[in-house]
């Protein structure tokens, strides 16, 4: 609505100007440092709701990491080598820590080309994730693959949550 007698408001996400009824959604917008609910237009509020759901449900697991045995480009994992895979604090890169074996190269979230969730053999259609294969663009845009299998450790649930967080991040485009 573009009537000058109507009070107008800025959407705090996109910055466009709207009438009150077109900009009446109020949601927290932590990525823009608004922890209290702020005005957002309809399209932006939909994006913010999805984003906030990801940040509230999955980001912590993603940052804390999971423990996996790792194989690179279809090579067999080195016996007993376990890595903690986690997202860096800037939310851009997946790193591999630990493992007494060959170091595994980090890669950025934006370089991921494809994901394949590996499910436990089960009659249940949903199945439980036991691993994930990540295909990404490595150095010089060469396609690389890394296979992460949930390690048999007490924090198995944390590793499964990490896989789900990576999948959700890939599907939604967050972080």
In the chain, the largest separation of any two C-alpha atoms, in whole Å, equals 73
Confidence check: pLDDT of 44 > 60? yes
**What domains lie within the chain, and their CATH numbers?**
8-57 (3.30.40.10), 60-172 (2.30.29.160)
Is pLDDT larger for residue 100 or for residue 158? 158
CA distance 26 to 3: 23
Res. 136: pLDDT tops 90: yes
Helix, strand, or coil (residue 51): helix
Distance, C-alpha 27 to centroid of its chain: 21
Q: Tokens standing for 22?
A: 């077109």
What's the rounded Cα separation, in Å, for the pair 101 and 66?
Answer: 18
Which residues make beta-bridge pairs with 134?
115, 146
Of 172, 150, 175, nearest to 162 by C-alpha is: 150
What would the mean pLDDT of 144-167 be, rounded to a whole number? 92
Q: How confident is the model at residue 155 (pLDDT cuts 50, 70, 90)?
A: confident
Beta bridge partners of 123: none
| pLDDT number for residue 32 | 84
Contacts of 153 (CB under 8 A, 6+ apart): 67, 82, 159
* pTM for this predicted structure: 0.75
pLDDT score for 28: 93
Region of poorest pLDDT, from 66-75, 119-128, 150-159: 119-128
Cβ atoms of residues 77 and 152 within 8 Å: no
User: Tell me, what's the pLDDT at 87?
Assistant: 93
């Amino acid at each position: 609505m573009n009537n000058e007698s109507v009070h107008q408001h800025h959407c705090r996400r996109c910055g466009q100007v709207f009438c009150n009824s077109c900009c009446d959604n109020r949601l927290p917008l932590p990525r823009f440092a608004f922890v209290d609910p702020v005005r957002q237009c309809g399209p932006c509020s939909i994006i913010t709701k999805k984003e906030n759901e990801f940040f509230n449900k999955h980001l912590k697991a993603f940052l804390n990491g999971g423990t996996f045995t790792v194989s690179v480009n279809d090579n067999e994992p080195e016996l007993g080598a376990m890595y903690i895979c986690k997202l860096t604090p800037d939310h851009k890169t997946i790193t591999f820590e630990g493992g007494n074996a060959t170091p595994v190269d980090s890669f950025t979230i934006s370089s991921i080309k494809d994901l394949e969730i590996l499910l436990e053999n089960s009659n249940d259609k949903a199945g439980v994730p036991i691993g994930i294969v990540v295909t990404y663009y490595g150095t010089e845009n060469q396609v690389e693959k890394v296979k992460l299998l949930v390690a048999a450790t007490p924090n198995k649930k944390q590793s499964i949550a990490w896989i789900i967080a990576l999948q959700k991040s890939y599907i939604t485009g967050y972080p």
